[in-house]
Amino acid sequence: MGLAACFGGPVFNTLIGIGIGFTAQSERSGFHKTQASFDEKGILCMCFLLISLVSSLICFPLMHFRATREYGIYLLSLYGLFFVTSILNEVHVFHIPGTDET
């Protein structure tokens, strides 16, 4: 159940959050098309989420579905790396290749 929550929670939040926002925007504007911008922050979040979920998908069966202390430290380290990377990106220390800053 916990493993399903690791995957289902972010997917549910993304689908409901984006779905409700886009529905409200289309109702408010009267158009049935909504422009969505995908910037560096979105790419960064999706990359770290993908790394976390794929590593969970691979590691949990290998660990016989037991969350070890080492894996918890790995996830906390991954979160710390995401946090630092997000801050550095926000203060424009680096630029993610393939994105346009307009």
SS3 of 40-101: HHHHHHHHHHHHHHHHHHHHHHHCCCCCCHHHHHHHHHHHHHHHHHHHHHHCCCCCCCCCCC
pLDDT in tens, 50-95: 999 899 889 989 999 888 999 999 999 999 999 999 999 888 887 7
- Both 30 and 45 in one domain: the answer is no
Kindly report the pTM of this predicted structure. 0.65
- The mean pLDDT of 12-32, rounded to a whole number, is 81
Q: Give the number of domains in the chain.
A: 2
CB within 8 Å of 89: residues ≥ 6 apart? 40, 41, 44, 96
User: pLDDT band for position 40 (50/70/90)?
Assistant: confident
Q: Which domain holds residue 55?
A: 37-102
- Both 47 and 95 in one domain: the answer is yes
User: pLDDT band for position 8 (50/70/90)?
Assistant: confident
